[in-house]
Structure 1
Amino acid sequence: MTKIIFMGTPAFAATVLKGILADSHYEVLAVVTQPDRAVGRKKVIQTTPVKEVALAYDLPVYQPEKLSGSSEMEAIMSLGADGIVTAAFGQFLPTRLLHSVDFAVNVHASLLPKYRGGAPIHYALINGDERAGVTIMEMVKEMDAGDMIAADSIAIEETDNVGTLFEKLAVVGRDLLLSSLPAYLAGNLRPVAQDPSQVTFSPNIQPEEEVLDWSKTARQLFNQVRGMYPWPVAHTYWKGERFKIQEAVAVEGEGPAGQVISRNKKELIVATGQGALSLLTVQPAGKPKMTVADFLNGAGRDLAVGDRFGE
């Protein structure tokens, strides 16, 4: 039985962890995840999805703020693991830690060398890619730069957003890891180096990238909205305050970019640089997320054709 230390944080990683725990070929000695964080306006302490799985299986949990030089890393190295599996962990692994085990592999949610970094699923949607995938790669002390062990992909559907694609790719990653790891550990699956000329990056989304530029095409804005939902959520401005748009669809229409060109009790259509965007789910400042119909019948009842967003 191969003894593993698992490192991961979000629901994507939790799905991978559950798959490993269900496979009798592996024993998970411990789980390493990011520290619990205070979230929301009420600053409620929230455990990570990976920690929740670990606790359900009575696994030891380590949550160092930073692995390098920590007492947690020393404790992890003393466990006698054969290898490390990571999935969306959120920290670099020190070289000393990597050298302390026989193998260290990562489940990365992109088709490397495309989209190295922390937001590959967001970028696949924002850029309008037709497919998204997962790569199993060897860990090195450089972001997502290790040799590739295996890869698989799925089509991106029109209805996909970050949340749905995360769920789908978590299953792809789980199954790909479990199908490729035995052959890799047996020396029958030879890793392939990444082509440096094809490397692109997907850094974490910055606040300024969340703002909708109405001069872009309707298709670009549709991709931006779904590429940021359910987090961090794209937004524009209305009455000088932030106005979040969680869901929208591209439709026909024309007018000055950002201008409301159609409005009734259930529909709100805004012109873009090319085409128009029909808003479906929104969140005005200080209000909860709501359907556009609820917005138009409430906080947005005075919104009229000719009004502009983004000002």
Structure 2
Amino acid sequence: MTSVVFMGTPDFSVPILKMLYEEGYKIQTVVTQPDRPVGRKHVLTPTPVKAAAVELGLPVIQPERLKGSQELQQIIALNPDLIVTAAFGQILPKELLDTPRLGCINVHASLLPAYRGGAPIHQAVIDGQKETGVTIMYMAEKLDAGDIIAQQAIAIEEEDYTGLLFDKLSIIGRDLLKNTLPSIIDGTNRRIPQDESKVSFAHNISREQERIDWTKSNIDIYNQIRGLHPWPIAYTTLDGQNVKVWWAKKSTVTHHEKPGTVIGISKKFFTVATGDGQAIDIVDLQPAGKKRMEAVNYLNGVGSKLQIGDHFE
């Protein structure tokens, strides 16, 4: 029976862990990020992978930082046949990469060599890509630079957003890994070096990337909003207060107003001018200090004073 150490953190990783368990692989331990405080009350909360591992009765290791840690030596001492990672969130030290006889493989949510890094799904949507996918790859010391074992593509639909694609790609990754593992174990899998001339990166989303620049086109802003939904959420500023924009739609309205200007108010949404002479309809938002709400509730409540000509910065 092939022994495996699984390393992952978010919801994306959970179906992959459960597949390994259901397929009968010997999971020696699950490695995930430490519990973190969540919400306004800062409730210490386990990662989705830890919660799933506990439910399955699997041991869990939660290193704050792998390199040079006691937890690293614990994992090495297990001497697993294979290490499988999926959105773990930390770089694996070389001594760990060299430990398993079958190597360390990663389930990465992009069609490598495109979008190496920690936010490949977010960035693909923000960039308006029409396609993304999953890559099963060998891990190397360089970030997401290992040889490709298998890939599967998926279209990015007009209404797709990051959270929905996370769910879709998680299932694709689970199934692709399930079908690929037998060839990895018996040594018949392919191993394709990445084309370095085609490399692009998707680093973790910065605060600056969350801010809406109304001088951009309506399609760019729409892609930004859906690319940051449901986390970390795009935002703009009105009267010096941040407003999170949870969802919006491309408007058919055209204008000659300054970008960021409110150019229309209806019962269910309000329309903001973009830099290409077009506009965005805001349908779901969260004013500073308030809960998320539909635009209809905003316009009937805290946003009742919003007027045509008001300006989002």
Q: TM-score, normalised by structure 1?
A: 0.98
Please state if 1:302 is matched with 2:302: no
CA distance in 2, matches of 1:264, 1:74: 61
Deviations 1:172-204 (A, max 9, x none): 100111111111221211210000000000000
Name the structure 2 match of 1:5. 5
CA distance in 1, matches of 2:184, 2:156: 29
Cα deviation for residue 27 of structure 1 reads 1.3
CA distance in 2, matches of 1:108, 1:217: 30
Name the structure 1 match of 2:204. 204
CA distance in 2, matches of 1:251, 1:22: 47
CA distance in 2, matches of 1:185, 1:197: 30
Name the structure 2 match of 1:285. 288
Cα deviation for residue 252 of structure 1 reads 1.8
CA distance in 1, matches of 2:279, 2:15: 38
Name the structure 2 match of 1:130. 130
Amino acid at match of 2:264: S
Please state if 1:264 is matched with 2:285: no
Cα deviation for residue 21 of structure 1 reads 1.0
Deviations 1:107-139 (A, max 9, x none): 000000000000000001000011110100001
Amino acid at match of 1:280: V
Cα deviation for residue 81 of structure 1 reads 1.2
CA distance in 1, matches of 2:296, 2:45: 33
Name the structure 1 match of 2:97. 98
Cα deviation for residue 249 of structure 1 reads 0.7
User: Once superposed, what is the RMSD of the aligned Cα atoms?
Assistant: 0.9
CA distance in 1, matches of 2:129, 2:232: 20
SS in 2 for 1:14: helix
Name the structure 2 match of 1:80. 79
Cα deviation for residue 74 of structure 1 reads 1.1
Name the structure 1 match of 2:234. 234
Cα deviation for residue 140 of structure 1 reads 1.0
Q: Is the 8 A contact 2:268 2:283 kept in 1?
A: no
Name the structure 1 match of 2:177. 177
Cα deviation for residue 80 of structure 1 reads 3.0
Q: Is the 8 A contact 2:9 2:87 kept in 1?
A: yes
Q: TM-score, normalised by structure 2?
A: 0.97
Amino acid at match of 2:169: L
Q: Is the 8 A contact 2:36 2:46 kept in 1?
A: yes
Amino acid at match of 1:115: Y
Q: Which blocks of at least 5 consecutive residues in structure 2 are unaligned?
A: none
SS in 2 for 1:78: helix
CA distance in 2, matches of 1:251, 1:279: 9
CA distance in 2, matches of 1:262, 1:168: 35
Cα deviation for residue 40 of structure 1 reads 2.0
Cα deviation for residue 251 of structure 1 reads 1.2
Cα deviation for residue 265 of structure 1 reads 2.4
SS in 2 for 1:208: helix
CA distance in 2, matches of 1:219, 1:264: 21
Q: Is the 8 A contact 2:106 2:139 kept in 1?
A: yes
Please state if 1:61 is matched with 2:42: no
Cα deviation for residue 269 of structure 1 reads 0.6
Deviations 1:36-75 (A, max 9, x none): 1112221111100000111001111000111111111111
Amino acid at match of 2:287: P
Name the structure 2 match of 1:149. 149
CA distance in 2, matches of 1:144, 1:90: 12
> Matched residue pairs, number?
309
Amino acid at match of 2:283: L
SS in 2 for 1:280: strand
CA distance in 2, matches of 1:20, 1:279: 42
